[in-house]
Amino acid sequence: MTAFGFSTGQISLTEDWQDYALLDSGDGLKLERFGPYSFVRPEPQALWERRLGDDVWAKAAGRFLASSDDPEKGGKWQLSKDLPDRWEMGFEGVKFYASPTPFRHLAFFPEQSGHWQFCATAIKAFRAKHGRKPRILNLFGYTGVASLHAAEAGAEVTHVDASKKAIAQAFENRELSGLSDAPIRYITDDCLKFVAREARRGNFYDGIILDPPKYGRGPKGEVWRLEEGLPELLSLCASLLSDEAIFMILTIYAIRTSTLSVHSAMAQALGGDRANDLTSGELTSGEVGIVEAADNPRAIGQALFVRYHKAP
């Protein structure tokens, strides 16, 4: 195996958003704007005092109250009666619905916008060189914002998620964006089983996006545990990368690990025995985060990422 270097410590922050902003943070909380509505959510990494007054925070349309029994998982929303069930948001021409979920997020993850932009740039460069749409695989694709952004940039996308509800929301977001004719194939399946079948079929992709949860269940009750399944998943995904592959991106939330460990896991998978060589590409790792829309802004890391990239 040829080792990749440890190019770690990279930061990917939210940029160029009109419909989202981190307004303030501190005292273990964050105040964010999603479209016309602001929300208060727990944020253990906000290790400082809030800057805005209590009157600004009190105007929030929703507040997530963490459970005293399990602050990291449990809790409930306290929502304004005037708040609609969902509302429209947008990013760089892609539209999607926001809605408070039982998992304390709002049906998408704004900190991943840096990945969307990175993928779009790589997709456009690929098309310019090869004269065809790159084939992109989005695993654990959830409500499909990354898939829509990639398709808008000129990719042919296969979107896989185990949740029928998430796939239904992805269809709704596609219609909202006016991309009903875009080349996106939506598949409800266990992601690990899907990539294993794709490997047996000899199918290849020019780019892969992975956003696996810490724990989950497939449509037939399959159990996913990140620490157990990640090595096999990464190995299978590496085997699916084409000779012209331009990226493979992994984002990890809510587990106690380090950037170095995740970087090493990706390097192991990409450096294994393969028909084509990936080691001429670059492997970087770091954090995705959100940054305050203020003078002297403070930033909050939300997840770890490792990103493989090879110029087309």
Residue at a domain's end among 46, 73, 98: 98
Query: Residue 167: is its pLDDT beyond 70?
Result: yes
pTM of the model: 0.91
Same domain (yes/no): 64, 127: no
Q: Is residue 1 part of a domain?
A: no
Query: Residue 149: is its pLDDT beyond 80?
Result: yes
Domain that holds residue 168: 7-14+108-309
Per-residue confidence at 57, pLDDT binned at 50, 70, 90? very high
Query: Residue 2: is its pLDDT beyond 50?
Result: no
Both tokens of 114, joined, read: 């840096």
Under a CB-based contact definition with an 8 Å cutoff, are residues 253 and 302 in contact? yes
CATH number, domain of 181, equals 3.40.50.150
**Average pLDDT of the segment spanning 141-159:** 98
Same domain (yes/no): 85, 232: no
Cα separation, 247 vs 251, whole angstroms = 13
CATH number, domain of 60, equals 2.60.40.1180
Same domain (yes/no): 81, 160: no
pLDDT tens for residues 77-94?
A: 999 999 999 999 999 999
Under a CB-based contact definition with an 8 Å cutoff, are residues 192 and 160 in contact? no
Per-residue confidence at 170, pLDDT binned at 50, 70, 90? very high
